[in-house]
């Protein structure tokens, strides 16, 4: 069982960081394969809480090598401050490997992200403002800057020139901003070259050799299935592929190597930023989920939109990722509701629809069809095995499993590493 993928089955913030950290002690490598510091993964170890943005959550497990794959976009200043923050807290980060092919989020990408959002006005995506979309756009337009470019000043200068050529026209003529000077950007980027040098590696070779030697590699997705640029609620998505296939392109590992794909699934639903969300709540239940679940963004501090569990989305995630297992998180947050609504289908323009519609218009019209499941009032945060859960909590989990199309192999009952019920072993 050499390679596993762990990814978000909803709109992000499902608890991927905690799940990755939990497995970190039993795997040799943890690899980020897409996204950047738009991610915010909270990991709680004992009485210590860590907020990770760019580093794989495996960084907190001493035996594990953390890898930033070629598919990730890297803001060097964020990376270096994340590393020094961890070092100050006694975490050894020396094993980190960064792909030389990963693209760099430059200061002008961050500027473009912010001005584009401002100009979109009420049509804005609600991005994290970290330069993610513009950096991936440069990659696709073949004017991106890669980590390896930091080690050839002449190439770097030419590439920054090419990238700024059109951008400066747009910034000055369309957005009324000052032009960005090539020299200044090059100078700023070169400062990072020496600092990043110890970590830069041919990660594709390293990971494939590790797999040949029967090492266990865990791919940790950022964001979630419904934020995927191809399979999500476009255009209200991020600019990469968090879905399982993204692990292959974003790390350079063939699909035949991946034997397990774990979908992290929150026992209810949240979303940050704009876009459709059929089960969103605007009443006190939504407020209660936000309060009890601590649903505030780790990256931007924005309140997360909250709603009931949506089985249509979970089924879709099973399909597009080929999920083999679910890790159900935050079941404890639902303690105290007498009845818990679960969305089993949508009603779209008067018709019952069982599967996620491919049409954006239809999805915007989707109204949830709810089934009521009986709740429980007992504290479940100390439960260690499935049988420790009250019957109604067991039945809730079983119902979700049935509707979602893959077995639930673990259940989170609290933010801590140990607050997890393991049902089937992942490794």
Query: Which residues are annotated as catalytic?
Result: 13, 41
Cα of 349 vs its chain's centroid, Å: 32
What the block records as the tokens of 262 is 């774990």
> Near Mg ion by CB under 5 A, which window of 38-46, 51-59, 72-80, 384-392?
38-46
Q: CB–CB of 68/250 below 8 Å?
A: no
Identified binder of ligand GDP from the candidate list 24, 35, 36, 40, rule CB under 6 A: 40
Q: CB–CB of 271/279 below 8 Å?
A: no
**Sign of torsion, CA 122 126 129 130?**
negative
CA distances from 345 to 110, 138, 208, 365, 393 (A): 39, 39, 41, 13, 22
Identified binder of ligand GDP from the candidate list 254, 294, 336, 374, rule CB under 6 A: 294
Residue 215 beta carbon to ligand GDP: minimum distance, rounded to whole angstroms: 24
Q: Residue 391 in 3-state DSSP? A: helix
User: How far is the C-alpha of 138 from the C-alpha of 414, rounded, in Å?
Assistant: 40
Identified binder of ligand GDP from the candidate list 4, 7, 15, 228, rule CB under 6 A: 15
Q: Is 221 in the site for ligand GDP (CB under 6 A)?
A: no
> Near ligand GDP by CB under 6 A, which window of 158-166, 252-260, 389-397, 408-416?
408-416
Binding mask 101-140 for ligand GDP (x = CB under 6 A): ----------------------------------------
Q: Closest Cα partner for 65 from 74, 55, 76, 79? A: 55
Q: CB–CB of 263/11 below 8 Å?
A: no
Judged on CB neighbours under 10 Å (0-12, 13-18, 19+), 28 is middle
Q: CB–CB of 130/36 below 8 Å?
A: yes
Q: CB–CB of 265/225 below 8 Å?
A: no
Identified binder of ligand GDP from the candidate list 14, 113, 228, 325, rule CB under 6 A: 14
Name the residue number minimizing CB distance to ligand GDP.
412
Provide the pairing of β-strand 103-104 with 73-74: parallel
User: Quick one: 11 or 199, whose CB is closer to ligand IMO?
Assistant: 11
Cα of 112 vs its chain's centroid, Å: 22
> Near ligand GDP by CB under 6 A, which window of 27-35, 187-195, 326-334, 348-356?
326-334
Q: Closest Cα partner for 263 from 406, 385, 58? A: 406
User: Quick one: 42 or 240, whose CB is closer to ligand GDP?
Assistant: 42
Cα of 114 vs its chain's centroid, Å: 21
Contacts of 57 (CB under 8 A, 6+ apart): 16, 17, 18, 20, 21, 24, 30, 41, 43, 220
Partner whose binding site includes residue 330, from Mg ion, ligand IMO, ligand GDP, none (CB under 5 to 8 Å by kind)? ligand GDP
Residue 387 beta carbon to ligand IMO: minimum distance, rounded to whole angstroms: 31
Partner whose binding site includes residue 243, from Mg ion, ligand GDP, ligand IMO, none (CB under 5 to 8 Å by kind)? none
Residues that bind ligand IMO (CB under 6 A): 8, 11-13, 38-41, 125-128, 130, 132-133, 222-224, 227, 238-239, 272-273
Partner whose binding site includes residue 125, from ligand GDP, ligand IMO, Mg ion, none (CB under 5 to 8 Å by kind)? ligand IMO
Identified binder of Mg ion from the candidate list 35, 40, 221, 341, rule CB under 5 A: 40
Partner whose binding site includes residue 415, from ligand GDP, ligand IMO, Mg ion, none (CB under 5 to 8 Å by kind)? ligand GDP
Strand extents, DSSP E, 70-204: 73-74, 97-99, 103-104, 200-201
Partner whose binding site includes residue 15, from Mg ion, ligand GDP, ligand IMO, none (CB under 5 to 8 Å by kind)? ligand GDP
Binding mask 3-32 for Mg ion (x = CB under 5 A): ----------x-------------------
DSSP symbol at 280: B
User: Quick one: 41 or 146, whose CB is closer to Mg ion?
Assistant: 41
Positions that interact with ligand GDP (CB under 6 A): 8, 12-18, 40-42, 44, 294, 298, 329-330, 332-333, 412-415
């Amino acid at each position: 069982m050499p390679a596993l993928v762990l990814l978000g089955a909803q709109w992000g913030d499902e608890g991927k960081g905690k799940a990755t950290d939990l497995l970190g002690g039993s795997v040799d490598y943890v690899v980020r394969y897409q996204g950047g510091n738009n991610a915010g993964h909270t990991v709680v170890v004992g009485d210590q809480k860590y907020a990770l943005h760019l580093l794989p959550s495996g960084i907190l497990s001493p035996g594990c090598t953390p890898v930033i794959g070629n598919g990730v976009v890297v803001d060097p200043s964020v990376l270096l401050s994340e590393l020094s923050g961890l070092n100050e807290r006694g975490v050894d980060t020396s094993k980190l490997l960064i792909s030389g092919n990963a693209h760099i989020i430059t200061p002008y990408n961050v500027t473009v992200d912010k001005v584009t959002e401002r100009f979109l006005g009420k049509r804005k995506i609600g991005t994290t403002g970290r330069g993610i979309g513009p950096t991936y756009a440069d990659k696709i337009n073949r004017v991106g800057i890669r980590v390896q470019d930091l080690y050839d000043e002449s190439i770097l200068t030419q590439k920054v020139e090419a990238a700024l050529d059109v951008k400066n026209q747009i910034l000055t003529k369309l957005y009324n901003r000052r032009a960005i000077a090539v020299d200044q950007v090059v100078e700023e980027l070169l400062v990072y070259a020496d600092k990043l040098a110890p970590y830069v590696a041919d990660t594709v070779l390293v990971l494939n050799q590790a797999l040949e030697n029967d090492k266990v590699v865990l791919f940790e997705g950022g964001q979630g299935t419904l934020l995927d640029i191809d399979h999500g609620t476009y255009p209200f998505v991020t600019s990469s592929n968090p879905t399982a296939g993204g692990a292959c392109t974003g790390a350079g590992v063939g699909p035949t190597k991946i034997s397990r794909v774990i979908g992290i699934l929150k026992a209810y639903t949240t979303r940050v930023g704009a876009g459709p969300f059929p089960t969103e709540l605007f009443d006190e239940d939504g407020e209660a989920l936000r309060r009890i679940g601590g649903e505030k963004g780790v990256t931007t501090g924005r309140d997360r939109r909250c709603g009931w569990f949506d089985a249509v989305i979970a089924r879709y995630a099973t399909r597009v990722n080929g999920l083999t297992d679910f890790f159900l998180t935050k079941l404890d947050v639902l303690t105290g509701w007498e009845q818990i609504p679960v969305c089993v289908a949508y009603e779209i323009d008067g018709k019952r629809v069982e599967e996620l519609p491919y049409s954006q218009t239809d999805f915007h019209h989707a109204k949830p069809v709810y089934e009521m499941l009986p709740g429980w009032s007992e504290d479940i945060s100390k439960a260690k095995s499935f049988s420790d859960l009250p019957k109604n909590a067991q039945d809730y989990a079983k119902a979700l499993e049935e509707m979602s199309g893959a077995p639930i192999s673990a259940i989170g009952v609290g933010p801590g590493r140990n607050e997890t019920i393991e049902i089937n072993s992942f490794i």
